[in-house]
């Protein structure tokens, strides 16, 4: 079973606790006892089952964005913003998109125990592809979270008119086509 670092859940905890009134209470009511224990105790360096993380993300979307078909992507975007706080956020304002994407493979290895990530230029200005291979079990929910995460990071870098299209017809290669201005 695949795992990822607990940073996604710690970010989720912060999102649920930010000025959203009863959001965390409603969310906690949806969790299984095992999920609730992990929610309260996980830290950013812990490994968490990606299945459990996807389940918790779906439940958070029910509370934060009820009925929104783009809720998972919105949550991914908010997670990116949560991850890039403090000095990281200041740094991102001075970072170029190409530098950020050069870090993709390293960041993936640090946060995931399965799969390999890379970025390819398409030959077009302001267009790239992020590709994850060797991870056929990457869940549809998590692929959509990544889509939103990409949007959040690129917004922090200063990109506008972002478009991210997820190509998911080949489980040997998940591809996010990314364009911006």
CA dihedral 27, 61, 105, 130 (to 10 degrees): 180
Q: How many CB atoms lie within 10 A of CB 48?
A: 19
**Domains along the chain?**
3-83 (no CATH), 91-179 (3.30.70)
- Alpha-carbon distance of 67 to 82, in angstroms, equals 23
Give this prediction's pTM.
Answer: 0.91
Q: Express each pLDDT in 134-168 by its tens digit.
A: 999 999 999 999 999 999 988 988 889 999 999 99
Instruction: Please enumerate in sequence order all residues whose Cβ is within 8 A of that of 10, keeping only pairs 6 or more positions apart, or say none.
Output: 42, 43, 44
Residue 138's nearest CA partner among 107, 115, 163 is: 115
Residue 163 backbone class (left: φ over 0; alpha: ψ -120 to 50; beta: rest): beta
Q: Express each pLDDT in 68-124 by its tens digit.
A: 999 999 999 999 988 877 656 666 666 677 777 788 889 899 999 999 999 999 999
Q: Express each pLDDT in 60-81 by its tens digit.
A: 999 999 999 999 999 999 999 8
* Encoded tokens for 87: 């000095």
């Amino acid at each position: 079973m695949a795992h990822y670092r607990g940073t996604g859940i710690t970010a989720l905890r912060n999102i649920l606790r930010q000025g959203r009134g009863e959001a965390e209470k409603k969310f906690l009511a949806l969790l299984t006892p095992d999920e609730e224990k992990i929610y309260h105790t996980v830290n950013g360096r812990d490994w968490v089952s990606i299945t459990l993380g996807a389940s918790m993300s779906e439940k958070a979307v029910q509370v934060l964005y009820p009925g929104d078909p783009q809720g998972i992507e919105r949550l991914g975007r908010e997670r990116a913003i949560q991850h890039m706080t403090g000095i990281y956020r200041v740094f991102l304002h001075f970072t170029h998109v190409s530098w950020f994407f050069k870090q993709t493979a390293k960041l993936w290895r640090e946060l995931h125990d399965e799969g390999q990530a890379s970025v390819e230029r398409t030959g077009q200005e302001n267009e790239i592809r992020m590709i994850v291979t060797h991870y056929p079990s990457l869940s549809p929910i998590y692929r959509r979270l990544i889509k939103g995460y990409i949007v959040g990071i690129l917004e922090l870098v200063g990109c506008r008119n972002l478009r991210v299209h997820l190509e998911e017809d080949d489980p040997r290669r998940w591809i996010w086509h990314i364009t911006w201005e």
